[in-house]
Amino acid sequence: MREHFNKKEILEKIIPVVENTAMRYNLIPLEVSFEKENAHWFLRIFIYCADHPVSHQDCENITRGLGDFLDELIPFKYYLEVSSPGLNRKMKSTREYIIFKGKDIIVKVKNPIKDISTKVIKAVLIDYKEGQGLEIKTKDDGKTYCLALDNIFSVKLDEDINIKQNKGEDND
């Protein structure tokens, strides 16, 4: 006998639990998705930390911290995956634009913008402006532009950025 469930309602119950658990470990959930693939359900949580790169320990802390809470909220078998978003991941939310202010990004636009002939722009993310878009400063000419969200195809962190383990420590 198969029970009916509402995926949206389950996510609405899960997200606050994920956020509270992440906060206990000084982590930020960037994305929580619940999808069916090949007849199996997957709950995927992508986490970020401003203080250090996400570690296996961070993922384990979230997994253990969520433990039995999720089993009470999800009434059927599922697989839990907790990971960092990775450097090549496209930004998917305004929350990410705010978190990654000041970082090097690569923006792909749908239509070229004034004074820039290419649709791929290396820039620094200056700000996210509600209702207006992203304010960026290009790497090529150092000019500042505001990109309308409906003209943005994708935004991701620039792969060439240097990640520091802790302030004052070198990566070895």
Pair 34, 10: CB distance under 8 Å = yes
- pLDDT of 170 > 70? The answer is no
pLDDT digits (tens, 9 = 90+) for 131-164: 889 999 999 889 999 999 999 999 998 866 444 4
pLDDT digits (tens, 9 = 90+) for 5-62: 788 999 999 999 999 999 999 999 999 999 999 999 999 999 999 899 999 999 999 9
Q: How far apart are CA 136 and CA 127, in angstroms?
A: 7
Q: Which two tokens stand for residue 61?
A: 């802390």
Fold of 7-83: GMP Synthetase; Chain A, domain 3 (3.30.300)
Q: 157-164 — which CB contacts under 8 Å span 24+ positions?
A: 157/87, 157/89, 157/91, 157/100, 157/103, 157/104, 157/105, 157/106, 158/103, 158/104, 158/105, 158/106, 158/122, 159/87, 159/88, 160/104, 161/87, 161/103, 161/104, 163/53
pTM above 0.85? no
The CATH number of the domain covering residues in 94-157: 2.30.30.180
Could you give the residue range(s) of every CATH 3.30.300.70 domain in the chain? 7-83
